[in-house]
Amino acid sequence: MELLELSLLLLVLLFALLGTGLWISMSLAAIGWIAMATVHPEPGPFLASAMWESTGSWTLAALPMFVWMGEILFRTKLSEELFNGLAPWVRRIPGGLLHVNILACGIFGSVSGSSAATSATVAKIALPELRKRGYDDDVSIGSLATSGTLGILIPPSIIMVVYAVAAEVSIIRIFIAGCLPGLVVMALFSGYIAVWAMLNPHKQPPPEPRLSFGGKMRASAQLIPCALLIIATIGSMFVGWATATEAAAFGVAGSLILAAVTGMLTWESFLDSLKGATRLSCMILFILAGAAFLSKAMALTGIPGALAAGVAALDLGPYGVIALLAVVYVVLGTALDGVSMIVLTTSIVIPIVQHAGFDLVWFGIFIVLLVEIAEITPPVGFNLFVMQTMTGKEQGEVARASLPFFAMLVLTIVLITLFPQTLVTGLGDWLLAR
Amino acid sequence: MLRRALDALYIASAGLASLCLFGIFAMMMAQVGMREAGLQLVGADDLTTYLCVATAFFALAHTFRRGELIRVNMVFSLVGPAGKRVLEGMALSLAVIVVGTIVWYTAADVLFSYEIEDVAQGTIAFPLWVPKLAMPIGAGTLLIAILDEAVRVLRGEIPNYVLEAEARAARGDFSAEV
Amino acid sequence: ATTTWQMATAYPDGNFHTKNIVTFLSDLKTATGGRLEVQLHSNASLLPMPQIKRGVQQGQVQLGEILLSAFGNEDPFFEVDGIPQLVTTFAQAKRLADLARPYIEARFQRQGVSLLYMVPWPPSGFYTPNPVATIENLRGTRMRTYNTMTNRFATAVGAAPTLVQSAEVAQAFATGIVNAMVTSAATGVDTQAWDYVKVFTPIGFTFTRNAVFVQRRALEALSAADQAAVRAAAATAETRGWAAAEAAKSSAQATLASHGMTVSEPTPELLAGMDRVSASMVDEWLTRTGEDGQKLIAAYRAGA
Ligand code: NA
Ligand code: NA
């Protein structure tokens, strides 16, 4: 009971601090300090180690690279080309170019390991184009905030690596397991957009001019540079030149070459892209640092463990356990970042999950989907932060715009729970048994 | 004079951060290239992580002043100019406490690493106090920037980070600023 | 009054080291009549490995567990168990551990911490796509390395030392960035090595140890009786841990084989080649340790 009271008090305090307009990273650190002070005489050294560990990590180094890649591409004609190339093909589907958000996030997700970086990269390209063409702002923003989370569901994925290490499961297996659920999420997002478009015809922009098949092909030729770039980034991994992290640097190199070849690379645009990437990376890393300190405080108070242990004590069936865990993770995910959610809870949750008869690779995908949800639930959700910065809108507005897509993620969780073998673990078994 | 010196400090620090971000890229490409040539860039993994830390901390002051460190503005949009001033004062005071604490303890951390001769565990035994210096220096510059803004608010002016954010909003060009 | 300590380890709960710690901590509680309770933070949830030793020194936590040889850059005595093929059996490993213990404890004492017990990892072996018949087979491979000692070993056998983070090992094997690594059978099981590599050659290689240690100030704050109880429980944990390591060795190799990996016993030629490399690496280690190192190695060889 005492822990429950403390957690509620901390939650109220967090909202109060955020409400005064204290910067989010600093609010997290402040709450971390208060939480830790209840159990430890000296929070200071933990604050310093959190700052050091969370901003300096080899796998995390991919994040500034992918952010920079997005900044470079934003200063090229690639965004226009991507839209011109995809526009003729989705023109007649209800929802039109909004589907490009989903496709582009899926494609970028297959080179990026981070949700926020995917969201930032694609939104930077897509948002101005959608606004120019008069698409509904809410659906644009919601779909971009949410499909950015495909970055951690479609491999490679920093979150999956963290889980695989914490739960002692094969990284390759969990990467492969993310592929089909990734496609399911894309299909559901696109499905929602199509249904919404049919129900709201007055909110649709005028249709794009009709093109002949030849015209469509000519327009699609503009996709070639983008395809080459993605092939170069993934290819650098497949031919054994680069690790998943280094592939991010290949993405930057490819983008620079692309910009140079198309005559868009000037000294000024190079510096602008570098400075922009530095600021966005700084913002994300500093929030990670605040969250890392809060996570340490949580570990010392034992609050996340107590929450998970409460689940075990209820003696529900397998589906009951999964449903309750989902609720717990959604609650934790409002305030914690994905890495912390996983690191703090696995040691308590893994035995519960195994006891309920679920496969640990499957549970990894389940947890990644919940981390995706955490990315779009206030007050702490990185994709919300990215879209806030990008649109100048309030967090509440972005979160509301993301709500329908949140529902699609929940639906995906239901689907993978009903069909674990088909959707999650089957592909890996089949590929690795060959 | 002081104004120019402070602005130069923020810009120089951000420039250093950008250089570090470029360093991450250069380090990774060099590592790949040398590996293909059968060579090894010794200590590259550790150096990359140090550059990551430096990118994050050295860019803080500049990112803060441009209004690109994220915060929740919901309450601000509900109150008038006087209320905004009170809220900004509160937020900045709290920020001084939090960032001051970060400066203090990261500096203590550097000192402790120096005293116990803390070294990296990888292929090169880098003395850790050197890369760790980025934390108190970067956070210290942020603290100066926060005090700088606090002085503006005390004088009754609108903080720079609000002006910059509003200017970007007025240009209708949010995306270019991320 | 109840004293509550915090303990940090970087290893997950399923690991035999962590299981041993859990038993050790419950023994502590019983032996002190509930006067000492320890909250364990496993899986690097509170501190990652590089931060654990300094965390105990500084009093962030009172108890910690580290892979001792990872701290070889700090003092070469911490990585004497990382010299390849210096010991090849559990009995030899135990003898070296006992001989090295006073040197390690002396260094720990200077740093304000005190050694409680040490438990080895099961011996290591080569993970390769093809069988390794002689040490020449390793020449020209891209060998995964992660610290100074493995780097030196790769260079000594003519392999290209290739830095790969543990999280990226599977992908690095699958795409050919590396095609050889040397680690324990237990780690192979933890990372499901059968997904990316075919042959395991158990050669012994190293019996690196995890060390569990306590902040001296915290220990000395306990009553004499409770301090003695801590030491006694630590001694029991050490015995239990060595038995667990031996059990882990056979079970881990069996697990590798059951997933279709070839566990191929080393040839005499390979072992002879390893001995040559080992001798040169011992000499290199001695150049860094001076007189104390000479004494330790001489004492170890005298008992052989
Ligand atoms: Na991804
Ligand atoms: Na959230």
The confidence band for B171, taking pLDDT boundaries of 50, 70 and 90, is: low
Q: Which amino acid is at C41?
A: H
B40 touches C at CB < 8 Å: yes
Q: What is the pLDDT of residue A431?
A: 73
Which of A17, A236, A390 is facing B175, going by the closest CB pair? A390
Half-sphere exposure of C283 (CA within 13 A, CB side): 7
pLDDT digits (tens, 9 = 90+) for C230-264: 999 999 999 999 999 999 998 999 999 999 999 99
Q: What is the pLDDT of residue A347?
A: 62
3-state secondary structure A75-108: CCCHHHHHHHHHHHHHCCCCCCCHHHHHHHHHHH
Q: What is the pLDDT of residue A132?
A: 87
The confidence band for B148, taking pLDDT boundaries of 50, 70 and 90, is: very high
Q: Give the span between the Cα atoms of B82 and B88, in whole angstroms.
A: 10
Q: What is the pLDDT of residue B101?
A: 98
29-58 in B: which are within 8 Å (CB) of A?
A: 29, 31-32, 36, 45, 48-53, 55-57
- b/e map of B32-53 (b: 16 or more CB within 10 Å)? beebeeeebbbbbbbbbbbbbb
CB C291 within 8 A of CB C228: no
pLDDT at C160 over 80: yes
Q: Give the span between the Cα atoms of C104 and C107, in whole angstroms.
A: 5
Residues with C-beta atoms within 5 A of ion ligand 2: A 333-334, 374, 377, 380-381
Q: Is the dihedral of CA B119, B122, B124, B128 positive or negative?
A: negative
Q: What is the pLDDT of residue A363?
A: 96
CB A184 within 8 A of CB A177: no
Contact C45 A344 (CB under 8 A): yes
* Ligand 1 centroid distance, CA of C209 (Å): 36
pLDDT at B174 over 50: no
Taken as a whole, chain B contains a residue count of 178
B98 CA to chain C: closest CA distance, Å?
20
pLDDT digits (tens, 9 = 90+) for B63-97: 999 988 878 776 787 888 899 999 999 999 999 99
Half-sphere exposure of B156 (CA within 13 A, CB side): 0
Q: Give the span between the Cα atoms of A68 and A45, in whole angstroms.
A: 32
Q: Which amino acid is at A354?
A: Q
Q: Give the span between the Cα atoms of B22 and A72, in whole angstroms.
A: 13
Q: Give the span between the Cα atoms of A406 and A387, in whole angstroms.
A: 15
Q: Which residues, given as ranges, of chain A have pLDDT below 50?
A: 1
Average pLDDT over residues C129-158: 90
Kindly indicate whether the ipTM for this predicted assembly is greater than 0.90, answering yes or no. Answer: yes
The rounded percent of chain B whose pLDDT value lies above 90 is 74
Q: What is the pLDDT of residue B175?
A: 42
| Of the candidates A245, A140, A226, A180, the residue with the CA atom closest to the CA atom of residue A412 | A180
Task: Please give the backbone phi and psi of residue A110, each rounded to the nearest 5 degrees, phi first.
Answer: -80, 0
Other Cβ atoms closer than 10 A to C303: 11
Specify the DSSP class assigned to residue C265.
P
The confidence band for C278, taking pLDDT boundaries of 50, 70 and 90, is: very high
pLDDT at B163 over 70: yes
* Burial class of A212 by CB neighbour count within 10 A (0 to 12, 13 to 18, 19+): exposed
Higher pLDDT, C200 or A354: C200
CB A32 within 8 A of CB A296: yes
| Of the candidates A43, A316, A372, A315, the residue with the CA atom closest to the CA atom of residue A184 | A372
Q: What is the pLDDT of residue C273?
A: 94
C71 touches B at CB < 8 Å: yes
pTM of the model: 0.87
pLDDT at C1 over 70: no
Domain residue ranges in chain A: 45-433
B45 touches C at CB < 8 Å: yes
* Ligand 1 centroid distance, CA of A246 (Å): 14
Q: What is the pLDDT of residue C57?
A: 96
Average pLDDT over residues B13-27: 97
Task: Please give the backbone phi and psi of residue B20, each rounded to the nearest 5 degrees, phi first.
Answer: -65, -40
Residues ≥6 apart with Cβ < 8 Å to A391:
A127, A137, A141, A398, B174
C280 touches A at CB < 8 Å: no
Taken as a whole, chain C contains a residue count of 304
Kindly give the interhelix angle for A44-55 and B44-58, rounded to the nearest 10 degrees.
Answer: 110
Q: What is the pLDDT of residue A75?
A: 79
